[in-house]
Amino acid sequence: HVTKILSSVSCSLTSSAMSTHTYANEVKLFHKWTYDDIEVSDDISLEDYIAVKSKSAQFVPHSAGRFQAKRFKKAQCPIVERLTNSIMMHGRNNGKKVMAVRIVKHAFEIVHLLTDANPIQQLVDGIINASPREDSTRIGSGGGVGRPAVGVS
């Protein structure tokens, strides 16, 4: 009889405990900005190197991912986390990732207040604008013609 009472109590406790949990339907950066409407629109060649799709969506840009283990694996690192990692440089800031996450969060809040747009999209647009453009030119000497790549801004 006691085991029957204990099992009914434990069932009611687990059902009430499970009903209080709420789960996120979508992943939002800092629980504010969604990754769904982010587009890498201008440059098709950068789509593979700017990771903002649903696979790389995070709540906080702090994963323990080893994105330097293989060649070109850092392209799979979420772009906001790459920004966070690049803030942790220059001696006194080495290894202070929590501080870098806080700086990125405050910067994104300021960008959102000033532009009233998704700061992740603003970051992607800034990266696209800052990326180098390449073209080829024709250079010939002594009958031989070469087509080396040159930077075009």
Q: In the prediction, which pLDDT does 140 show? A: 65
For the whole model, what pTM was predicted? 0.70
pLDDT value, residue 73 = 85
pLDDT at 114: 96
Q: What region, left, alpha or beta, does residue 131 occupy, with left being phi > 0 and alpha being psi -120 to 50 degrees? A: beta
- Phi, psi torsion values for 140, nearest 5 degrees: -125, 140
Rounded average pLDDT per 10-residue block, the chain, 153 residues: 53 51 70 86 79 83 85 87 90 91 94 94 89 70 66 64
Cα(16)–Cα(11) distance, integer angstroms:
9
pLDDT value for 68? 83
Spatial separation of the C-alpha atoms in residues 7 and 11, rounded to whole Å: 6
What pLDDT is attached to residue 56? 83
- The closest of 114, 101, 110 to 59, measured between CA atoms, is 101
The pLDDT value recorded for residue 99 is: 94
